[in-house]
């Protein structure tokens, strides 16, 4: 099952002309700068904006097709919407807000029960309180639970962390990470924060100036040299790994991926647990020979995939290690001295690895 989206409309001088296909489960991030059209696209999907041309289909369920004249109104789309502001009913308790979502959903259309939503979002201790007594992060968790209890086939989240401070964002992220593992419905998550995307998303739709610049798995798009994400100071690769062992003597954990084994600062997770790693291009150096003695613990055989200029003084090198793509930013002089060419075998030395979930 997949989600198929196509929309075209004009709003003043801005034109939205987008098309993409996303998995029918998991979190798909709509990522791009402010003003790129992400929220307008989300409103089209929700049925809140009428496009010149539109197509929206999830599996066998069709919500819109301008070619045939089909356009279901918002209340018939079974779409949940979580805004930047929680928009809870102030006169109702948390439990009352949740029951509002339940009452709108016939029993046969409920996909998530109240107990599941309360557990997943960690709001059991908040049920008797009013929204005015909650923190910003708590209000958003309640808003997400309420949206889930309305029985959506698709959940839309429009920058739900944008109004929160850093501490509140850090507190809510673990709950959102859990959702992308357990939710039985797909999520479209709008953000202009790459950090949120690499934490939460499985699939990425890169939006710029009203158009889709690229769509695919997060790890793939981050390392595509024809896209802007692979350039600049924040350029990084994301690697899916699993905990292989712990080393209490040196407070390290060892995480395996298809290209080898990472040594990272100890993580509080059992052997076999999945973790996503973020590796900045600036932290990856290259050598033609395996180092005999080095303070760098993470060294992997790799092969050069492609090389592109990053200004006159630097180069971005796309690497493959065990079929996994990495990026390295090095100086133009280093690339020349090493004689780098596509297909060349070498070793990637990774100075720092961030465990991001």
Whole-number pLDDT of residue 174: 83
What does the pLDDT average to over 291-308? 92
Report the pLDDT value the prediction gives residue 58, as an integer from 0 to 100.
Answer: 94
pLDDT at 355: 67
8 A C-beta contact, residue 41 and residue 207: yes
Q: Which residues pair with 158 in a beta bridge?
A: 190
Does residue 103 sit in helix, strand or coil?
helix
Whether 39 and 83 have beta carbons less than 8 Å apart is answered as: no
CA quadruple 43, 29, 62, 208: dihedral sign? positive
Share of the chain above pLDDT 90, in %: 66
**Per the structure block, which two tokens stand in for 215?**
């769509």
Statement: residue 42 has pLDDT above 90: yes
For 131-181, what is each residue's pLDDT tens digit?
999 998 899 999 999 988 888 899 999 998 888 888 888 888 888 887 777
Residue 36 and residue 32: Cα distance in Å, rounded? 6
Report which of residues 96 and 170 the model is more confident about: 96
Say how far apart CA 110 and CA 96 lie, in whole Å.
17
Closest CA to 247 of 227, 263, 236: 263
The arithmetic mean of pLDDT across residues 316-340, rounded, is 96
Summarize pLDDT for 228-268 with one digit per residue, the tens. 999 988 899 999 999 999 999 999 999 999 999 999 999 99
Task: Characterize the bridge pairing of strands 298-310 and 284-287.
Answer: unpaired
pLDDT at 357: 54
* Of 181 and 31, more confident: 31
**Dist. CA 353–CA 280, nearest whole Å:** 8
- Quick check: 275 and 355 in contact, CB under 8 A? yes
- Secondary element (H or E) of residue 52: none
pLDDT exceeds cutoff 60 at 18: yes
DSSP element (H, E) containing 355: strand 354-355
Share of residues in the chain with pLDDT > 70 (%): 98
Per residue in 188-217, pLDDT tens?
A: 999 988 888 998 899 999 999 999 999 999
Q: What is the pLDDT of residue 230?
A: 94
Residue linked to tokens 């107990």: 115
């Amino acid at each position: 099952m997949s989600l198929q989206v196509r929309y075209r409309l004009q709003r003043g001088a801005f034109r939205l002309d987008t098309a993409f296909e996303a998995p029918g489960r998991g979190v798909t991030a709509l990522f791009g700068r402010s003003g790129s059209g992400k929220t307008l696209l989300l409103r089209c999907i929700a049925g809140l904006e009428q496009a010149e041309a539109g197509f929206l289909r999830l599996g066998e369920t069709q919500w819109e097709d301008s070619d045939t004249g089909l356009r279901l109104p918002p209340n018939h789309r079974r779409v949940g919407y979580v805004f930047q502001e929680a928009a809870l009913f102030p006169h109702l308790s948390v439990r009352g807000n949740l029951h509002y979502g339940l009452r709108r959903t016939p029993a046969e259309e409920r996909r998530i029960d109240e107990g599941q939503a309360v557990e997943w979002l960690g709001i059991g201790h908040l049920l008797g309180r009013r929204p005015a007594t909650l923190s910003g992060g708590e209000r958003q968790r309640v808003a997400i639970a309420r949206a889930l209890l309305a029985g959506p086939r698709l959940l839309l989240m429009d920058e739900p962390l944008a109004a929160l401070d850093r501490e509140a964002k850090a507190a809510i992220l673990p709950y959102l990470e859990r959702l992308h593992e357990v939710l039985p419905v797909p999520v479209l998550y709008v953000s202009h924060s790459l950090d949120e995307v690499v934490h939460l998303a499985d699939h990425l739709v890169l939006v710029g100036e009203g158009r889709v610049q690229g769509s695919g798995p997060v790890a793939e798009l981050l390392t595509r040299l024809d896209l802007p994400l692979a350039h600049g100071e924040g350029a990084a690769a994301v690697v899916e790994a699993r905990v292989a062992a712990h080393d209490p003597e040196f407070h390290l954990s060892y995480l395996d991926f298809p290209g080898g084994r990472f040594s990272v600062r100890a993580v509080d997770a059992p052997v076999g647990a999945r973790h996503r790693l973020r590796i900045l291009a600036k932290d990856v150096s290259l050598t033609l020979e395996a180092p005999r003695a080095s303070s760098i613990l993470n060294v992997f055989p790799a092969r050069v995939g492609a090389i592109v200029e990053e200004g006159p003084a630097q180069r971005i090198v796309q690497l493959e290690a065990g079929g996994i793509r990495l990026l390295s930013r090095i100086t133009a002089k280093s690339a020349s001295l090493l004689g780098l060419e596509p297909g060349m075998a070498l070793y990637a030395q990774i100075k720092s690895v961030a465990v991001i979930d």
